Homo-oligomer: A and B are copies of this chain.
Amino acid sequence: MMRESDLKLFAIDGIGEVRAGDDLATLLGDAIVAHGVGALESGDVLVVTSKIVAKAEGRVVRIDPADVMAKAILVESESTRVLRRRGDLLITETTHGFVCANAGVDLSNVEEGWAVLLPLDPDRSARRLRADLRRRLGVEIAVIISDTFGRAWRNGVTDVAIGCSGIAGIVDLRGTPDANGRILEATEVCVVDELASAADLIMGKASNVPAVVIRGAQPEWLREGSVASEVIRTPDEDLFR
């Protein structure tokens, strides 16, 4: 039995290869129904990898993986500026405003000779998927589109949210009394990034789990939100750009 404070995560698998033009809500809806009763309930958070969203939206391009120059040109075409360059690694600011390696252009987990880009507008992708799943399954859920980014100062990658719908990007705990009754200092928690990281723990990188259900989200997180307007720090507010 779950207690109110518990959190439970489980994988939605069996989705198979996603191709341009596929209807994600149909693919995910079928996989969720196949998963069994109670696989997706109102109040759940569904985390979906950027990769299957991008593939369904046709955000794939042909590329020769051995052609370093072609890859650099592709990365720069997805970017508004290059922040750092080391060898063939580019850290850029994408057209969305994300700072990440190679503008999110991904040659792994895709057929040889193809690259997957980031969705054009991941918040919109999340809103659409959420509306489609509501229509199809009658559930009121939150959707997070996740991708794998590096960070400054710390080794290793973690998953973060690049789009969301039905959930706050940032939960503001400013003004909430702490356990001693004192008002907390600024504590704006990026719950969508924490949820994306949690989901990645069971996605595995090579095991074909492109969607994870998280049950136990706090009801106050569940308002309409946006990664673009809440989570992306604008360059003028950023001390490290």
Contacts and interface: CB of A to CB of B under 8 A. Distances in A.
Contacts of A58: none
Contact of A239 (B84, B154, B184): B84
A156 interface: yes
- How many copies of this protein are present in the complex? 2
Interface stretch (A7-15, A23-31, A136-144): A7-15
A160 interface: yes
Interface stretch (A72-80, A123-131, A190-198): A190-198
Interface in A134-173: 148, 151-160, 169-170, 173
A122 to B, nearest CB: 14
B5 A209 contact: yes
Contacts of A189: 148, 156-158, 200, 205
Nearest to A89: B239
Nearest to A7: B9
B7 A240 contact: no
A176 interface: yes
B160 A154 contact: yes
Range, interface on chain A: 35 or more
A160 B230 CA distance: 20
A233 interface: yes
Contacts of A6: 8-11, 202
Interface in A185-241: 185, 187-191, 193-195, 197-198, 200-202, 204-209, 216-218, 230-233, 238-241
29 contacts: A5-B10, A6-B8, A7-B8, A7-B9, A7-B198, A83-B239, A84-B239, A84-B240, A108-B178, A108-B182, A108-B184, A108-B185, A111-B180, A112-B180, A148-B187, A151-B152, A153-B241, A154-B190, A155-B170, A155-B232, A156-B170, A156-B231, A157-B188, A159-B194, A179-B206, A179-B208, A194-B197, A197-B198, A201-B217
